Amino acid sequence: MIETVVGTMILFMAISAIIALETKDLLSSIISVGAIGVATSICFLLVGAPDIAITQMVVEVLSLIILIRATIRRDLTTINGDREFFGLTVTIALIFLFFLFGFKAFLTLPEFGTPAMSQFIEAPSTKYISSGFKETGASNIVTAIILDYRGFDTLGEVTVLFTAIWGALAIMRVYSRKKRKNKNSHE
């Protein structure tokens, strides 16, 4: 049951991805990407990940607002078409080869419905599930993992977010410090 629903959702996502990449209007393509994000959130909710569903939905809203405010009305002449012919054919041939090899690899995975990461006996997730509640006292096991067992992971995530945000702020700065000082001295 869930397999067919999730498969239909992924087909819907593929169709809206093609629409997003091939349509001429930039606003329509950004809204199609929003449809992909909402379908992803519904899939997360179906396969038992409510934390991720909430985060995905809210992040989707914020990223759509940033994309629309930052790009719309900036380029009135819409740019169509792909790159030159030779490069395009080579790229599509490479993507097709990648698909053939990847398809073979994906067929070796275990069937949908058996967790692939806890196949062997000493897998970490079995320990997290069985003794996570007793050891940390948090009933949400995902929070227990990201803030207690795998705290270094979250520390690296905070560092990456910090660097990305301050990099964006440094790129968008209007005047450099030297110029501003000169301007103030002229006035």
Partner 1 sequence: MIYPLCFLLFLIGLYGATCKKNIVKIILGLLIMEYSVNLFLILLGWKKNGIAPIIDQSTSHEVFIAQSVDPLPQALVLTSIVIGLGVLSLMVAISIRLYQRYGTFDITEMNKLKH
Partner 2 sequence: MNREKKTGMSLIVQTVTRWLKGFIFMFGIYLAFYGHLTPGGGFSGGVVIATTFVLLTLAFGRERSLSKLGKVLASVLDCSGALLFLLIATLGILFGGAFFVNFLEKWFPSVNFRLFSAGTIPLSNISIAIKVGASLFMVFIILAVRRVVEVGGRRKLISTEFFETSEKRKDK
For residue 135, give Cα distances in angstroms to 130, 138, 140, 155, 186: 10, 8, 12, 21, 65
Q: Is 142 helix (H, G, I), strand (E, B) or coil?
A: helix
141 binds partner 1 (CB under 8 A): yes
Taking CB under 8 A as the criterion, the residue among 115, 175, 180, 183 binding partner 1 is 115
Residue 148 interacting partner from partner 2, partner 1, none (CB closer than 5 to 8 Å by kind) = partner 2
Between CA 110 and CA 106 the distance in angstroms is: 9
In this chain, which stretch among 8-16, 54-62, 92-100, 114-122 interacts with partner 2, using CB under 8 A?
54-62
Nearest approach, Cβ of 182 to partner 2 (angstroms)? 17
102 binds partner 1 (CB under 8 A): yes
Q: Is 10 helix (H, G, I), strand (E, B) or coil?
A: helix
Could you tell me the two tokens for 169? Answer: 């702020």
Q: Is 23 helix (H, G, I), strand (E, B) or coil?
A: coil
Phi, psi for residue 70 in degrees, rounded to 5 = -90, -25
Residue 137 interacting partner from partner 1, partner 2, none (CB closer than 5 to 8 Å by kind) = partner 2
Pick 76 or 184: Cβ nearer partner 1: 76
Between CA 161 and CA 58 the distance in angstroms is: 17
Pick 7 or 124: Cβ nearer partner 2: 124
Instruction: Report yes or no: 40 and 13 within 8 Å, Cβ to Cβ.
Output: yes
180 binds partner 2 (CB under 8 A): no
Pick 10 or 72: Cβ nearer partner 2: 72
100 binds partner 2 (CB under 8 A): no
Which of 120, 144, 123 is closest to 133 using CA atoms? 144
Query: First and final CA of the chain: distance in angstroms?
Result: 72
Taking CB under 8 A as the criterion, the residue among 7, 50, 102, 156 binding partner 2 is 50
82 binds partner 1 (CB under 8 A): yes
133 binds partner 2 (CB under 8 A): yes
171 binds partner 1 (CB under 8 A): yes
Q: How many residues bind partner 1 (CB under 8 A)?
A: 88
